[in-house]
Amino acid sequence: MTLSGKHAVVTGGARGIGAAITRVLTARGVHVTVLSRMPQMLDVPCDTVSADVADPEAVAQAFRLASERSGPIHILVNNAGQAASAPFLKTSAELWRQMMDVNVDGVFHCTQAALPGMLEARWGRIVNVASTAGLTGYAYVSAYCAAKHAVIGLTRALALELASKGITVNAVCPGYTAGDMTQQTIANIVAKTGCSAEQAVAALVEHNPQKRLIEPDEVANAVAWLCLPESQALTGQAIAVAGGEIM
């Protein structure tokens, strides 16, 4: 069950879930290129390219550089994303646009950059890191929910378009996952309610039957599984990695 010799681009692959994905794919023999606005050193061998995923010209240039350095791109993990919360009537046009720019447009631009090479090879794996917010609704994050629902819609449409071409397209949908993004959510809850951090975590995992935060490696392992040659029959799926919260 190896991916030795494959080349993957992981967006946002230097932190949090992205860094876990980079490590897990590297352990399976993949050569990983991390695409990030501010590339950081990781404790595994990988290349880095710099780009804002919301900038189509920068994305195209970064993918060209990645291919020149490390060969054709076989795997794309669209992991880069942002989250922000606000009541709907306090959701500004700027906040709405920010959520769409990174979470949806970024997936669009990176997929368009990677797909021609996959079509030429008639083999590829595209995995979009969405969220349980793409499968259900959460109060006070309407822009984020809308963006992640859009990612899942794109995943399903593209999976059908590419089904006969040796390319699979899937999404993984983490619940609240230990890391920077969730820590910021916890800090916001504490600041707004005056509760303790422990109480904030308990509120976040209330609907998770396992009553815990998801670990980044658990998401990364799901991504790696979808990339395996043996996973060819899996396409168009949105897989919740959420301890049973979404069924």
- Is 176 marked active-site? no
| Alpha carbon distance 27, 132 (integer Å) | 27
CB atoms within 10 A of CB 50: 14
Instruction: Bin 184: left if φ > 0, else alpha if -120 < ψ < 50, else beta.
Output: alpha
Q: Of the residues 138, 140, 144, 176, which is catalytic?
A: 144
Question: Token match 């998801």: residue?
Answer: 214
CB atoms within 10 A of CB 34: 28
Nearest in space to 29 (alpha carbons), one of 164, 183, 224: 224
> Tokens at residue 49, please?
């390219």
SS3 percent helix, strand, coil of the chain, rounded to 5, is 50, 15, 35
| Residues labelled as active-site residues | 144
